[in-house]
Amino acid sequence: MKKSVYLLALGTILFSCSNPKTNKEMTKIDQPEVVKLASDSMTPEVLWSFGRIGEPSVSPDKSTVLYAVTHYNIEENKSYRDLYTIQVNGGTPVRITSTPEKESSAQWRPDGKEIGYLSAKSGDMQLWEMNLDGSDPIQISEIAGGISGFKYSPDGSKIIYTADVKMKQDVHDLFPDLPKANAYLENDLMYKHWDEWSQTVPHPFVADYSNGKITNAVDLLEGEPYESPMKPFGGIEQLDWSADSKIVAYTCRKKTGKEYAISTNSDIYFYHVETKQTENKTQGMMGYDQNPVFSPDGKWMAWESMERDGYEADKNRLFLLNLETGEKIDQSVDFDQNSSNLSWSADSKTLYFISCWHALTQVYRLDIADKKIAPVTNGVHDYAFVAEAGSKLVGMKHSMSQPDEIYAIDPSTGAETELSFVNKPILDQLTLAKVEERWIKTTDNKQMQTWVIYPPHFDPNKKYPTLLFCEGGPQSTVSQFWSYRWNFQQMAANGYIVVAPNRRGLPGFGKEWLEQISGDYGGQNMKDYLSAIDEVAKEPFVDKDKLGCVGASYGGFSVFWLAGHHEKRFKAFIAHDGMFNLEQQYLETEEMWFVNWDLGGPYWDKSNAVAQRSYANSPHKFVDKWDAPILVIHGEKDYRILASQGMAAFNAAVLRGVPAQLLIFPDENHWVLQPQNGILWQRVFKQWLDKWMK
């Protein structure tokens, strides 16, 4: 049998097969062939063979978890996504779909008798339903252009769905006699966002649902040029149904153009289904207000709220709205952490959520009666989801040593039991890197948490080349994340010690630590980086003559900046999607609120001391001090930080006579999402470091 070149996990068995997608009714494979890895080391191909779990959902009777698993076929350069169920009390996962259509957004129908999901089987993405075992799929919606998300009303009589709506004329509308013209004609800002030109906006629709049909759809933003959910990352979690199915709460930033580009002021709106009236429930709250969640008893709405307009990394507060009195309550006044992924208990007495503290993301609970917040879990991991499931909780978590898996959690003790085991067959064959926590003194006598990751089979009597990892964001914690690009296990498997500091500007260490970075890009956080690498370099097993520096986004900026200030510390640099020229960046990026807040404003404002300090620290001003080889990587569909930034840095290095290499991905954005591109990224990454550091 000719085997495919990718690995696939089913339950707890790793297998390969010639074509696992030809039998659309397949729920198991008889006599699977166990795949043995060539060695116990992580490789790019192994990394891209892990199953990626997502979209967990608990059944109405709280007995079963529904979730998706995505696998990548490297040879075909594409992904497949299938749906699984597992009992909350454990057992063998059941695969309920096996098709080429990549079913997504699956959720239980409120009566628990069917599963709804999105599929492009008929062309556009539409809503389908199937039996609980995956049989008898039936198409429910026929929406022109397809839909992007949906949610059943609690009583099952209606559905919210989201779909893209064209709200402005394009060149073909304006010049119909030029059908082959290929151009965009724009008159205001936000003409592009993240990785696409902004030609449509998502709108929420409410429709009647009965007998497997959707009828009488109403656009809640009819004729309005606003988006809900909010791009680029918002989904159906930004909308919710009230317990009595009479209100839809939706998230919207009712701004366009320049006003949209400079503001983060979104609000939660209530649409009353019976009267068709809309009201703003967070009027006067100036930052991000999003992700509403109604309590089952109909008394509360919880949501995530930021205080300040224009600050996308502000504290994510946990707010409650008393639906009877209208009172808004900040439940996290004394909780110096972010709150996200809110989820109610069935009795509405407890609100579960996740929060990061000291680079570990745990499940927390808020007791509504006494307003006390307490952690539920404790361990070296990051939770990414939590929901109540009867007497237990269901969570999805990962770490630097394991991709996401589904767990059952005892809410009284925090004890965890793994349910899914998707990646156990691969993990059991690998020798993984040891991950160690250290606290390092900074130049201003603070204590900084730093992760040190050691190569597999680490020998303290040897000397190892060592990498400083620079985090992006800039306000993004170096937590226990599992990445398919910046994967610490992969970097360590290449034979490198990795030093990953939680430098100034990262959440999870209090407001003061987080906010120090704004307006100080070339300041204290750069000293923090150097404190971390200098301290670890004192170890006898670190080859201090073979240090490297790598990072992406703000981490890429950090690499460019350190290349001009490292004082001979580093032998090689790698910068991915980094800001090189901050004046150029101010006018190239799409989300102007970010550069206004973090850089302090425009470079032409000579009276603004904060802005002038930011631009004085732009990496392009220090190219004359570059003296170590640098690899520059960028995606041409990255509209957050344009590829011209990376190209300019590469050109500068070459003109300066500094050894340099440029890796450009024409069809990738701020990330690298395609399998063969991802593997190429890993290979070039390793080759560059091995060339200059080994």
Q: Which position has the higher pLDDT, 283 or 211? A: 283
Dihedral sign for Cα atoms in the order 376, 382, 386, 391: negative
Whether 20 has a pLDDT exceeding 50, the answer reads: no
**Residue 30 scores a pLDDT above 80:** no
Q: CA–CA separation, 650 vs 658, rounded Å?
A: 9
Distance, CA of 40 to chain centre: 29
Which one from 16, 242, 553, 558 is the annotated catalytic residue?
553
The residue type found at 445 is N
Antiparallel, parallel or unpaired: β 300-305 and 497-501: unpaired
Domains parsed from the chain with CATH numbers:
153-159+170-330 (no CATH), 433-693 (3.40.50.1820)
Q: Tell me the three-class secondary structure of 360-423, residue by residue.
A: EEEEEEEECCCCEEEECCCCCCEEEEEEEECCEEEEEEEECCEEEEEEEECCCCCCEEECCCCC
Asked whether 299 and 348 are in contact (CB, 8 A), the reply is yes
What's the pLDDT band for 35 if we cut at 50, 70, 90?
confident
- Crossing angle for the helix pair 554-563 and 524-536, to the nearest 10 degrees: 80
Q: Between 635 and 8, where is the model more confident? A: 635
3-state secondary structure of 166: strand
Specify whether 638 is catalytic: yes
Residue-wise pLDDT for 132-176, tens only, equals 999 999 999 999 999 999 999 999 999 999 999 999 999 999 999
pLDDT of residue 532: 98
H or E segment to which residue 546 belongs: strand 542-552
Q: How many whole angstroms separate alpha carbon 288 and alpha carbon 581?
A: 29
pLDDT digit string, tens, across residues 449-500: 999 999 999 999 999 999 999 999 999 999 999 999 999 999 999 999 999 9
pLDDT at 31: 34
The pLDDT score that the predictor gives to residue 47 is: 97
Length of the chain: 694
Question: What is the rounded average pLDDT for all residues in the chain?
Answer: 94
- Cα dihedral value 670, 676, 682, 688, nearest 10: -100
Predicted confidence (pLDDT) per residue in 426-455, tens digit:
999 999 999 999 999 999 999 999 999 999
**Over 60: is that where the pLDDT of 692 sits?**
yes
pLDDT of 308 over the 50 cut: yes
23 pLDDT band, cuts 50/70/90, is very low
pLDDT at 21 over 80: no
User: Would you say residue 249 has pLDDT above 50?
Assistant: yes
pLDDT at 6: 33
For this structure, is 553 an active site residue?
Answer: yes
pLDDT tens, position by position, 555-594: 999 999 999 999 999 999 999 999 999 999 999 999 999 9
How far apart, in Å, are the Cα atoms of 627 and each of 562, 565, 604, 617, 649?
A: 11, 10, 31, 18, 13
pLDDT digits (tens, 9 = 90+) for 90-112: 999 999 999 998 999 999 999 99
Average pLDDT over residues 318-332: 98
Q: Tell whether the model's pLDDT for residue 17 goes beyond 50.
A: no
Amino acid identity, position 113: K
Output the pTM of the full model: 0.94
**Closest to 138 (Cα-Cα) out of 69, 84, 211, 205:** 211
What confidence score (pLDDT) does residue 211 get? 87
Q: How much is the pLDDT for 348?
A: 98
Residue among 527, 634, 641, 524 nearest 594 (CA): 641
Instruction: Determine whether 173 is an active site residue.
Output: no
Q: State how beta strands 8-10 and 13-15 pair.
A: antiparallel
Examine the pLDDT at 130 and tell me if it is beyond 50. Answer: yes
